[in-house]
Amino acid sequence: MLTEETTVANEVLHDLIAIHNDRIKGYERAIDELETGNSDLHQLFSSMLEESRVLKAALERSVSAFEDGTAHDHDGTTLGGKLYRAWMDVKATFTGHSRKAILESCEYGEDKAQDAYQEALSETTLPIDVRSLLIDQQRTLMVSHNRIKSLRNTEQ
């Protein structure tokens, strides 16, 4: 039986899993939009895909501890993520697939991931092990955010 504390933690973890699903789909999309000659971004985006897969797996392990092995769909995305990808479609129509446009879109996604982790960490009833996991993951994602931002700042 789930307590109020574990129910909140379970909901937070599921929300963050969905954020990672969004991030994975976003970087897959970014890779698809890259033009020839952007092998540096292809490599970076591929590493960020793998990063989200690893972080998502850690969140799923935490969820399974609360759900006692109950099966749950961990492949869903958020409504915001779906809207963001639709916005990327519209933006690509008008701005093309320039490095800067792709990096701006990726930075926007990274900002949303940071917002999601900040909101999750605002929950005061999270168990200490979950809070610690989320803090570590947020730091990891901040490094990726800053890499994207730095690259975006160097583009004309």
Residue 71 DSSP one-character state: -
Record the pTM.
0.82
Q: Report the length, in residues, of the chain.
A: 156
Task: Domain count for the chain, please give it.
Answer: 1
**pLDDT-based confidence at residue 145 (cuts at 50, 70, 90):** very high
Q: Return the structure tokens found at 64.
A: 């399974």
CATH of the domain at 129: 1.20.1260.10
Distances 18 to 15, 40, 150 between C-alpha atoms, Å: 5, 27, 26
List, for residues 23-46, the tens digit of each pLDDT value.
888 888 888 888 888 899 999 999
Q: Give the residue among 116, 142, 101, 94 at the shortest CA–CA distance from 22.
A: 116
Query: For position 71, what pLDDT does the model report?
Result: 39
**Which domain covers residue 84, as residue numbers?**
4-154
Residues in contact with 33: Cβ distance below 8 Å, sequence separation at least 6, in sequence order: 92, 97, 102
Distances 43 to 5, 28, 49 between C-alpha atoms, Å: 40, 12, 10
Phi, psi angle pair for 76, to nearest 5°: -75, 160
Integer Cα distance of 18 and 6 in angstroms:
18
* Better-predicted residue by pLDDT, 126 or 68: 126
Q: Return the structure tokens found at 152.
A: 């975006």
Query: For position 33, what pLDDT does the model report?
Result: 80
